[in-house]
Amino acid sequence: MEIYDLTLEHRSDNQNAADRAHIVSLQGQGLDRGIRIRHLRGGDEPLLWIADILLGAVNAAAMGEPRYLEALQETIVVQHRTADSLMP
């Protein structure tokens, strides 16, 4: 996808280190070695709010309020649940 700069939301130092380790692991599997990551607080980068907005819309739909997800439907490229995201 020719992505070289990746901004992730700052969490704990341990979580940030795990993010970096994950990228290094992916690079070891052939992902572009030119990718650089940085961590910023959510308040310092408004684009980080997109994931929170989408997750809120998905959760609202699961709770019976689909209008937020429906409003975003045309902008969602992939909507797929993983085994980890399935409700018990």
Q: Express each pLDDT in 7-30 by its tens digit.
A: 999 999 999 999 999 988 888 888
Mean pLDDT score of the chain: 86
CA 6, 12, 17, 19 torsion-angle sign: negative
For the segment 36-64, the average pLDDT, to the nearest whole number, is 91
Q: Across residues 28-45, what is the average pLDDT?
A: 87
Contact 37, 19 (CB under 8 A): yes
Would you say the pTM of this structure is higher than 0.85?
no
Q: Which two tokens stand for residue 54?
A: 């989408």
pLDDT exceeds 80 at position 81: no
Query: Does residue 58 carry a pLDDT above 60?
Result: yes
Within the chain, strands assigned E span 5-9, 36-40
